[in-house]
Amino acid sequence: MIEAVVEAGRPIGPRALARITGIDRSAVGRILQQLDAIGVLIGGDGRYQPGPRLFMLGRTLSALDTLPSAAGSVLDELVSQFDETSYVCTLHGDSAVFVYECQSSKPLRYVVELGKPVPLHAGAAGRAILAGLPEPQARALLGSERLPALTEQTITDIGELLATRACDLRRGYSVSREERVEGGVAVAAPFFDNRNRCQGSVVLTCPLSRFVDSSESSIGEAVRLAAETLSARLGANGFIVRELRQTGRSAV
């Protein structure tokens, strides 16, 4: 409900919120009254907008989370080098979520919807996260069943995916061609927090038609360095992270 009010960008009423959220209108009314009572939302003329408590919580969370400010400069640098859209993707449960972006200036771009969960096994963004996780955790997240195919190029065999993950870990970055979306290419590398835990990946994307195989290593190294820079800004021990990559082990 709160997300729907924020995303509306203007005061919005119960009828519209019921339609957007799929929640019964009478239940919507009760929820809105409760949120209004504690200051999370403010109601007026039958419409609601963010309240002072929600803004206070947002400021508190922003102060605790250094990722937004750190991500911006890292992505800007990647885009300035290659003029291809770049993202920071984070691990949420058993999925990857694209949370920050810096767009290419080119009219034809590979665009990912922010905030939408995507599977870890399909595409470089998720596979880079798997490479940064301890192997037992990566195996647990993948489960034991054959993985669903999003395209003809999606790796669905867990054994093959784990072998690819090991190669990604050794070289420091992942590359995928049309594994999640047809016509798309992604290069990604994991980043770590101040406890050297993998929190997500830095990702560069572009249309397959514009990706030159000979540039793969230079792009991969740039993405890897961007992820290391982000890790350093978040307080990760750079020596440990590099050592883990070079020895083919995963972060602890």
Q: What is the pLDDT of residues 124-178, one digit of tens each?
A: 999 999 999 998 999 999 988 889 999 999 999 999 999 999 999 889 999 999 9
Query: In this prediction, what percent of the chain has a pLDDT beyond 90?
Result: 63
- Average confidence score pLDDT of the chain: 88
State which amino acid sits at residue 20: I
45 and 165 part of one domain: no
How many domains does the structure of the chain reveal? 2
Long-range contacts of the stretch 101-108 (C-beta < 8 A, 24+) = 101/75, 102/72, 102/75, 102/76, 102/78, 103/79, 104/79, 104/206, 106/210, 108/207, 108/210
Q: What is the number of H-type helices and E-type strands within the chain?
A: 10, 8
The range of the structural domain enclosing residue 12 comes to 2-62
pTM over 0.85: no
Contacts of 201 (CB under 8 A, 6+ apart): 88, 89, 96, 124, 125, 126, 128, 129, 132, 174, 188, 189, 190, 191, 227
pLDDT tier, 251 (very low <50, low <70, confident <90, very high otherwise): very low
Contacts of 168 (CB under 8 A, 6+ apart): 127, 128, 131, 174
Among 62, 77, 103, which residue terminates a domain?
62
CB 122 within 8 A of CB 137: no
**CATH number of the domain encompassing residue 34:** 1.10.10.10
CB 219 within 8 A of CB 82: yes
Mean pLDDT over 221-243 rounds to 82
192 and 205 part of one domain: yes
Among 31, 62, 93, which residue terminates a domain?
62
Q: Which of 82, 86, 75 is nearest to 205 (CA)?
A: 86
Max CA-CA distance within the chain? 63
55 and 79 part of one domain: no
Is residue 252 in a domain? no
Q: How many residues does the chain have?
A: 252
117 and 52 part of one domain: no
For residue 26, pLDDT beyond 60: yes
Among 14, 38, 62, which residue terminates a domain?
62
26 and 103 part of one domain: no
Q: Where are the alpha helices (DSSP H) in the chain?
A: 2-8, 14-21, 25-37, 52-64, 67-82, 124-132, 135-142, 158-171, 216-233, 238-247
Least confident stretch, 81-90, 95-104, 166-175, 241-250: 241-250
203 and 238 part of one domain: yes
Taking the C-alpha atoms of residue 88 and residue 56, their distance in angstroms, rounded to an integer, is: 25
pLDDT tier, 69 (very low <50, low <70, confident <90, very high otherwise): confident
For residue 205, pLDDT beyond 60: yes
Contacts of 19 (CB under 8 A, 6+ apart): none
Encoding tokens for residue 160? Answer: 């093959």
How many CB atoms lie under 10 A from the CB of residue 179?
Answer: 25
